[in-house]
Amino acid sequence: MSVTIPPVVEMEHISKSFPGVKALDDVRFSVFPGEVHVLLGENGAGKSTLMKILSGVYTKDSGEIRIAGDPVELHNVKDAMHQGIRIIYQELNLLNNLTVAENIFIGEEPRTRGIIDWKKMFTESQKLLDGLNLSIDAHQKVSELPVGQQQMVEVAHAVSKEAKVIVMDEPTSALSSKEIKELFTTIRKLQKRGVGVVYISHRLEELLEIGDRVTVFRDGQYIGTRNVREEDGSIKIQLNDLITMMVGRSLDQQFPKVKFTPGEETLRIENLQTEEKLRGCSLSIRKGEILGLAGLMGAGRTELARAVIGADRITGGSVYRGGKRLRIRNPGDAIAQGIGYLPEDRKLHGLVLELDVAKNITLTGIKRIISAFCLSLKKERKEALNLVGELRIKTPSISQQVRYLSGGNQQKVVVAKWLFANSDILIFDEPTRGIDVGAKVEIYRLLNTLVEAGKTVMIISSELPEILGMCDRIAVMREGNIVKEFLRADATQDAILKYAIGAEA
């Protein structure tokens, strides 16, 4: 990166308010051609808002934007696209019932004499997908793809046209490690072509791998910008310094694990099978225990959880609670039996975006309140308010519609919802996906509080440090089977991975 080339994007003195929230307060940000500039900050810090201003989704209240040195006004998405700005949104933005190719070329379909050239569209899309090493068929409907592949379609969409700047807002949150590798290869290719990349992620290790510079926001304010590397390419930045910049204090403990005192068995799964995936899984979990379910994406971890709570039909096996065999036909039965499941895809299964924070939190627990013989709205809202405080959910009030919360804060609402539901057995599927470092520690502390209160917790996670840091026992899944169990003391990242990929022998 040469210092004589001007930045392709410069944003200065940018401010933006929403009702009740100052999302951005006089911030600045710039991107050079060919650099990957990482934007860091806690949930609700204003990262997505700034990038939506750059891509014309929101208009700034004040400040200046310059593209390649020239001041511009970006009134809408078209303006921004015209300036060569492309964005992959944090929330998936695809049209599910259209094909992959249609999504890639939406609004810009290749035409011959005014008529959409379908053949060209499909071949060009396929070329693009193959070039990204994705095994995705351009003819497939987006709804038929797993979330990770949908995210890669977004990437394909963004790189399909000549772009000067590509913004990636948490692109890896649902990607498998193989897909992440492909994404990074793509980013490096873009860099070579002189494209500037803005990269937002809560996974700090990604910053070390892909970042050139990093800027930190906190509570809508600009905190600072640092170089990630030395001149020779070696890593210069200290993660601890970045964390301090992000949260305003240092975090002494990333995984505040408490000692586990095993109680009696609470949940037992015997030989569980489903048509699709599970090939006979058995597990036993005790009161006060945190069990981690590790494995690669597609190994069957989510399917196991869904089978337990009755969301998928089981073709064999049984589930016991406290030694008693359960008859769970649907998630409602599971809730009634005190088993709660926090899904990985919060948008789809976890939240009602049009309802406010309080309603979302209290939705599952409604039975609990009714059963106390008085549906007390006041009580309900008070408890919601407590949870919002405990989890430090950033919202102007509990009456705010959930759709207006930042991505990470939406995730916290899902967590609050299940805490409110008062389940004894809680299955968390990727509980900290998209959650900032500080809030992660809060969620871990909460898990501690839960198990100390005698609850049973199962965590499905793709982040091995989290599994190793917080779980008393770790079960590894591969191809629909549980292939290994580790005690906390015996588990290492390498050993887990070996079993996960089937290279243990």
Ligand X SMILES: Nc1ncnc2c1ncn2[C@@H]1O[C@H](COP(=O)(O)OP(=O)(O)OP(=O)(O)O)[C@@H](O)[C@H]1O
Residues of span 42-61 touching ligand X by CB under 6 A = 43-49
Nearest-CB residue to ligand X?
408
Binding residue (CB under 5 A) for Mg ion from 292, 338, 343, 407:
407
Site string for ligand X, 59-98 (x = CB under 6 A): -------------------------------x--------
Backbone conformation region of residue 10, classed left if phi is above 0, alpha if psi is from -120 to 50, else beta: beta
406 contributes a contact to ligand X by CB under 6 A: yes
Residues of span 424-483 touching ligand X by CB under 6 A = 436
Report how many residues bind ligand X under the rule CB under 6 A: 20
Binding residue (CB under 6 A) for ligand X from 184, 404, 422, 479:
404
400 contributes a contact to Mg ion by CB under 5 A: no
340 contributes a contact to ligand X by CB under 6 A: no
Candidate segments 29-37, 398-406, 455-463, 468-476, binder of ligand X by CB under 6 A: 398-406
List Cβ neighbours of 404 (8 Å cut-off, separation of 6 or more): 18
Between 290 and 405, name the residue whose CB sits nearer to ligand X.
405
Candidate segments 47-55, 152-160, 175-183, 339-347, binder of Mg ion by CB under 5 A: 47-55
Centre a 10 Å sphere on the Cβ of residue 19 and count the other Cβ atoms it contains.
7
Site string for ligand X, 358-397 (x = CB under 6 A): ------------------------------------x---
Length of the chain, please?
A: 505
Binding residue (CB under 6 A) for ligand X from 405, 415, 459, 470:
405
Which one of ligand X, Mg ion, none interacts with residue 49, CB within 5 to 8 A by kind? Answer: ligand X
The minimum distance between CB 463 and ligand X, in angstroms, equals: 16
The amino acid at residue 307 is A
DSSP secondary structure string for all residues of 374-437: ---HHHHHHHHHHHHHHTT---S-TTSBGGGS-HHHHHHHHHHHHHHTT-SEEEEESTTTT--H
How do 265-274 and 279-286 pair as beta strands?
antiparallel
Centre a 10 Å sphere on the Cβ of residue 343 and count the other Cβ atoms it contains.
21
Residues of span 79-108 touching Mg ion by CB under 5 A = 90
Candidate segments 262-270, 342-350, 406-414, 465-473, binder of ligand X by CB under 6 A: 406-414
**Which residues are registered as beta bridge partners of 475?**
293, 485
Backbone angles phi, psi at 224, to 5 degrees: 175, 165
Give the residue from 29, 482, 412 showing the smallest Cα distance to 271.
482
DSSP secondary structure string for all residues of 131-168: HTT----TTSBGGGS-HHHHHHHHHHHHHSS--SEEEE
425 vs 117: CA distance, rounded Å: 54
Between 43 and 149, name the residue whose CB sits nearer to Mg ion.
43
**Which residues are registered as beta bridge partners of 72?**
65
Nearest-CB residue to Mg ion?
48
Report how many residues bind Mg ion under the rule CB under 5 A: 4
390 vs 73: CA distance, rounded Å: 41
Specify the 3-state DSSP secondary structure of 462: coil
Specify the 3-state DSSP secondary structure of 359: helix
Between 49 and 266, name the residue whose CB sits nearer to ligand X.
49
Q: Which residues bind Mg ion (CB under 5 A)?
A: 48, 90, 406-407
Q: Which residues bind ligand X (CB under 6 A)?
A: 18, 21, 23, 41, 43-49, 90, 394, 404-409, 436
